[in-house]
Chain A
């Protein structure tokens, strides 16, 4: 019986606890909400955002793949908006973004806003029905500021995602000083590029220094730098029309045109004489991280490294980037000088909520004001080029950023978006990456292209 009475006491304690907690709950409820009523002292014109009503005290959550150290400058660019509206932007960056976002969306825990680096992912998410269409105010900004990018944010004739940051991928990083010392000229055509590579091989008969260094290791995303190679070359050897057909699967993935491009890439990446300066043989490309891959340029162990504008951030602190600096980038030459295809990439703003504060923030991100603020608050690593063509390029601080902005707005250039980002996720961020990785470690051209073609989702 003693046992029973003891149980009663425990039970009573429990009931008491619930009563206490309930009171505690009630009191905490009252001081919820916020009291920040600001809006006066912003550096931009607040009128466009006043139209969304009184937003002070509201919160917008943002989920991105942009992590430290690039995240802080990004958040700094939201300040004028926050000052205008009193909205708090809650920023969360994750390296597991691509895998986690669909899980969060499916689990009913979607962020208000996500920056999608792949239009293919946007398509997948739109299919789940969770993505909200962009509000008319945002669409107006997009039409005015980035009409060329609108198609990538559009799914089934409905517009969802405004472009945000932009990248130029068709760059070859090199050391201007090393080129000058050896009397090498920046190549203007593809043939000149290969001739220069041969010349570097001939000049370094012992094989210790090689013309190219490359690396495609990138954790979960291993393989993507190799997909950029084939895309860049396909744009040059087959032209933009074929490229578009390839992206949309109007021609098979293993089309002869693609095979030609891959063979051309193989002349460099699978040539033990050309690669892999500073690291070893061809296979080391698969295990070298893309961050490390271009570093041998600084040590004089390799001369060229093909990688996007954002690669500049990976050089050690104090490295001078510029035409007369320690490293600089030249445009990956086309077959001849008559065409100038450019491979681009970027992020897109997808909204999973249509509350007024979310719409207002979407509109801000598509505005010239944001683009300029982004350039002004840009961190030391650069990478602040935006898709917005009306942004003031003179505000950009980095030399590469300036060059990229010039290339993006160049009328003579033909831009195409990164194909792997446009293809269905199973291919673009799956078998294409994996296939190219296996290609580096030994699979032949035909088997690689057939493997990827077979993985293309039926239906």
Chain B
């Protein structure tokens, strides 16, 4: 029903509207889109209001969920299924059925390296970022200047991945030891009397240098969520533990940690999923050169640069498959809490 209306209205729009060039035209297009949204929404409400009673409510439910389900189907499910099909149809994604892409993915040394790098990322980033965030949250908890300390580590979250990558590229900048340094890290090395290093070129060091950037961004997120969770621990428990004479470490191990476990799971899995998809940092800082490529970056390269849509699709499917267990685990954990 809704789709029918959408198509009907879209068909009536004169071409210049959809390809608006002038500022006024673009604004008009925007208002038109908003109006269209209002109309569809209004129609859904109107139709929903026609149904009454117990069975009517069921219809209303379907009607309200309809547009969202439709959009998900068109925008998410359909492309996902297409991608999976494509991944089984040879290198270009247009041939006949074969598992060649998956075979290549797990045998070609260059692609194995990509998988290895992704594994390093996924293992290190969530745990280091969460660890740093947790320690920080505990250290500043109820300390003086807590808000300021929090803002300090949370700020990187406000910077886009590309922006952060450019900043860190400057930090890692290499100049010969004998020259004035413009990279912070090499300036420090030089001041301490060491040779300057090409951090982004020397493998496997460079992958770890990129991971630091991701940790820098994500630690703030971990800290914020965990700090809130720590604050939510009931005072009675803390007081009871104190009265029992529990030491600081045992307090953390037996009181704090179990209390914030749900928050920890959410943080680790969220960062884990984000890390699996990491693309911006690698592409901005090394372009995947010098043995630093990861799955998402390689997927882009294969699909859009090497004209190997099938192999690219296979890499995307791999990402999808890797994300599933994390999401499932997350959902189970949330169910347990609920």
By Cβ-Cβ distance, the 3 closest A-B pairs, closest first, are A14-B42, A11-B46, A99-B304
B123 touches A (CB below 8 Å): no
- State how many residues of chain A have any CB contact under 8 Å with chain B: 48
Known: A99-B304, A219-B287. A283 touches B28 (CB 8 A): no
* Cβ–Cβ < 8 Å partners of A167 in chain B: none
* In contact, B201 and A17 (Cβ under 8 angstroms): no
* In contact, B91 and A14 (Cβ under 8 angstroms): no
A40 touches B (CB below 8 Å): no
* Cβ–Cβ < 8 Å partners of B25 in chain A: 28
* In contact, B46 and A287 (Cβ under 8 angstroms): no
Which of chain A's residues 204-228 have a Cβ closer than 8 Å to chain B?
208, 219-220, 222-223
Complex-state Cα separation, A24 to B34, whole angstroms = 14
Complex-state Cα separation, A437 to B307, whole angstroms = 20
Q: Work out how many contacts link A and B, with CB atoms closer than 8 A.
A: 113
Known: A18-B39, A287-B198. A425 touches B46 (CB 8 A): no
* In contact, B305 and A430 (Cβ under 8 angstroms): yes
Interface string of B2-24 (1 = CB under 8 A from A): 00000001001110110000000
Pick from A2-10, A143-151, A388-396 the stretch touching chain B. Answer: A2-10
- Nearest CB of chain B from residue A216's CB, rounded to whole Å: 10
* In contact, B305 and A425 (Cβ under 8 angstroms): yes
Complex-state Cα separation, A98 to B35, whole angstroms = 37
* In contact, A286 and B201 (Cβ under 8 angstroms): yes
Query: Can you name 10 A-B residue pairings with CB atoms under 8 Å?
Result: A11-B46, A13-B42, A14-B39, A18-B39, A29-B14, A100-B304, A279-B176, A286-B289, A441-B290, A451-B110
* Cβ–Cβ < 8 Å partners of B36 in chain A: 18, 21
- 7 further A-B contacts with Cβ under 8 Å, apart from A14-B39, A32-B14, A283-B198, are A11-B42, A12-B42, A14-B43, A14-B45, A28-B14, A284-B198, A426-B308
Complex-state Cα separation, A437 to B289, whole angstroms = 8
A280 touches B (CB below 8 Å): yes
* In contact, B49 and A4 (Cβ under 8 angstroms): yes
- Nearest CB of chain A from residue B205's CB, rounded to whole Å: 13
* Cβ–Cβ < 8 Å partners of A431 in chain B: 306
B106 touches A (CB below 8 Å): no
Which of chain A's residues 431-447 have a Cβ closer than 8 Å to chain B?
431, 434, 437-438, 441
* In contact, B201 and A21 (Cβ under 8 angstroms): no
* In contact, B35 and A287 (Cβ under 8 angstroms): no
- Nearest CB of chain B from residue A284's CB, rounded to whole Å: 7
When the two chains form the complex, which single residue of A15, A22, A29, A287 contacts B43, counting CB atoms closer than 8 Å? A15
A406 touches B (CB below 8 Å): no
Complex-state Cα separation, A425 to B308, whole angstroms = 10
* Cβ–Cβ < 8 Å partners of A279 in chain B: 176
- Nearest CB of chain B from residue A456's CB, rounded to whole Å: 12
Complex-state Cα separation, A7 to B49, whole angstroms = 7
* Cβ–Cβ < 8 Å partners of B91 in chain A: 457
Complex-state Cα separation, A22 to B28, whole angstroms = 12
Known: A7-B45, A280-B176, A434-B289. A18 touches B9 (CB 8 A): yes
Which of chain B's residues 36-54 have a Cβ closer than 8 Å to chain A?
36, 38-43, 45-46, 48-49
* In contact, A425 and B38 (Cβ under 8 angstroms): no
Central interface residue in B16, B36, B39, B43, by most chain A CB within 10 Å = B39
Known: A426-B306, A426-B307. A14 touches B290 (CB 8 A): no
Known: A28-B16, A437-B290, A457-B91. A11 touches B307 (CB 8 A): no
When the two chains form the complex, which single residue of B38, B201, B305, B307 contacts A441, counting CB atoms closer than 8 Å? B201
